């Protein structure tokens, strides 16, 4: 709990739809803490840009001068040492931003819960700070199509990236709730709404949940 509001962590495979669930929960009155957005912001801070240039020179930047996250991604997913030092550089900044966002929303009575949309929830032990973890289950072929469309990844690339994370069955077993991916948008929205209601009820906050918000 933070300021009397539960913290909900989202888990699932790459491309499982965590961001979509986060968007639905935002509509339902939750404050979403988007780690990807915080990472993007951290990469563009001057101290981080300076350190990346010290490590890799202009290879770390695009021709227009922005941090080339694709190039950095290729490095960190092929070299454990590079991955560890980038995480040591970026993760404290993301944690500080997460704390600031939550502090800003702490007194907002319209915020029912905090949602942590972060790719490494279990790997970095952030699940232990959550009051509930929701796992989004989505078939491999659906996830592959999503990352192929949005990121240009192949089957091999998706498997390689997921090998750096906990196995999905382990994440699922450590989660408190499971959402089943479905092509029916309203059915899935209903799953999300019911799960939020159960979490709030378990945290003795059910009286503040208005299911008519959506």
Res 161: pLDDT:
87
Q: Please give the C-alpha separations between residue 109 and each of 80, 97, 101, 112, 200, in angstroms, as whole numbers.
A: 43, 21, 15, 7, 14
Which residues, at least 6 apart from 147, have a Cβ–Cβ distance to it below 8 Å?
14, 15, 153, 157, 158
pTM, two decimal places: 0.88
Res 214: pLDDT:
43
Q: Is residue 15 a contact partner of residue 133, using CB atoms and an 8 Å limit? A: no
Res 78: pLDDT:
85
Q: Is residue 12 a contact partner of residue 116, using CB atoms and an 8 Å limit? A: no
CATH class (in words) of the domain with range 7-213: alpha beta
pLDDT, averaged per 10 consecutive residues of the chain (214 residues), comes to 94 93 97 94 95 95 92 88 93 95 93 94 94 96 93 90 91 96 89 95 60 43
């Amino acid at each position: 709990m933070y300021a009397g509001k539960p913290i909900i962590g989202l888990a699932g495979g790459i491309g499982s739809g965590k961001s979509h669930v986060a968007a639905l929960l935002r509509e339902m009155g939750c404050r979403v803490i988007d780690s990807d957005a915080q990472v993007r912001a951290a990469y563009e801070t001057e101290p981080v840009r300076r350190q990346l240039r010290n490590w890799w020179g202009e290879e770390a930047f695009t021709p227009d001068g922005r941090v080339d996250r694709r190039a950095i991604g290729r490095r960190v997913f092929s070299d454990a040492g590079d991955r560890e030092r980038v995480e040591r550089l970026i993760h404290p900044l993301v944690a500080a931003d997460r704390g600031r966002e939550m502090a800003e929303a702490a007194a907002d009575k319209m915020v029912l819960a905090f949602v942590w949309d972060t790719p490494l929830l279990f790997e970095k032990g952030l699940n232990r700070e959550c009051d509930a973890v929701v796992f989004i289950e989505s078939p491999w072929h659906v996830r592959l199509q999503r990352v192929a469309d949005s990121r240009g990844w192949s089957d091999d690339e998706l498997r390689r990236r997921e090998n750096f994370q906990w196995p999905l069955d382990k994440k699922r077993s450590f989660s408190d709730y499971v959402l089943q991916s479905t092509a029916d948008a309203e059915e899935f929205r209903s799953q999300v709404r019911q799960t939020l209601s159960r979490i709030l009820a378990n945290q003795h906050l059910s009286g503040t949940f208005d299911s008519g918000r959506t």
